Amino acid sequence: MATDHSRTAARFMISPAVLLLLGWMIIPLSMTIYFSFLNYNLLSPGMEEFIGFDNYEFFLTDPAFFAALGNTLLLVGGVLLITIIGGIGLALLLDQPMWGQGIVRILVIAPFFVMPTVSALVWKNMFMNPVDGLFAHAAKALGFAPFDFLAHAPLFSIIMIVAWQWLPFATLILLTALQSLDQEQIEASKIDGANKVNRFIYIVLPHMSRAITVVILIQTIFLLSIFAEILVTTNGGPGYASTNLTYLVYAQSLLQFDVGGGSAGGIIAVILANIVAFFLMRMIGKNLEA
Amino acid sequence: MTNNNPNYNKLIVTLFAWAIGLLIFFPILWTILTSFKTEAEAIASPPLFLGFNWTLENYLEVHERSNYFLHFWNSVVISVGSTLLGLLIAIPAAWAMAFVPAKQTKNVLMWMLSTKMLPPVGVLIPIYLLFRDFGLLDTRVGLVIVLTLINLPIIVWMLYTYFKEIPGEILEAARMDGATLWSEVIYVLTPMAVPGIASTLLLNIILAWNEAFWTLNLTAAKAAPLTAFIASYSSPEGLFYAKLSAASTMAIAPILIMGWFSQKQLVRGLTFGAVK
- Asked if residue A160 is part of any domain, the answer here is yes
Question: In this complex, how many residue pairs, one in chain A and one in chain B, have their CB atoms less than 8 Å apart?
Answer: 304
pLDDT at res. A289: 57
- Asked if residue A147 is part of any domain, the answer here is yes
B11 → chain A, closest CA residue: A98
**pLDDT, tens digit, for every residue of B3-28?**
567 788 889 999 999 999 999 999 99
Per the structure, the complete domain to which residue A247 belongs is given by: 53-289
B60-270 adopts what CATH topology?
MetI-like fold (1.10.3720)
**Looking at this predicted complex, what is its ipTM?**
0.86
Distance in angstroms (rounded) separating the CA atoms of residues A99 and B38: 36
Option in A20, A93, A274 nearest B152 (CB): A20
**pLDDT, tens digit, for every residue of A168-220?**
999 998 998 888 887 788 788 888 887 888 888 888 888 888 888 888 888 88
- Asked if residue A257 is part of any domain, the answer here is yes
Query: Where exactly are the structural domains of chain B?
Result: 2-58, 60-270
- The phi and psi torsions of B156 (rounded to 5 degrees) equal -60, -45
B46 → chain A, closest CA residue: A137
Q: Using the beta-carbon criterion (under 8 Å), do A123 and B27 form an inter-chain contact?
A: yes
pLDDT at B146 over 90: yes
- Asked if residue A58 is part of any domain, the answer here is yes
Regions of chain A short of the pLDDT cut 50 = 1
Number of domains in chain A: 1
Question: CA dist B135 to B138, B140, B147, Å?
Answer: 8, 11, 17
Contact A258, A41 (CB under 8 A): yes
Residues of B in contact with A214 (CB under 8 A): 271, 274-275
Residue B264's pLDDT band, with cuts at 50, 70 and 90, is confident
B131 → chain A, closest CA residue: A28
CATH of the domain at A242: 1.10.3720.10
- Asked if residue A171 is part of any domain, the answer here is yes
- Asked if residue A6 is part of any domain, the answer here is no
Option in B16, B45, B93 nearest A17 (CB): B93
Distance in angstroms (rounded) separating the CA atoms of residues A46 and A64: 28
**pLDDT, tens digit, for every residue of B58-95?**
888 887 777 888 899 999 999 999 999 999 999 989 98
Residues of A in contact with B18 (CB under 8 A): 100, 104
- How close is the nearest chain B Cα to the Cα of A77, in Å? 18
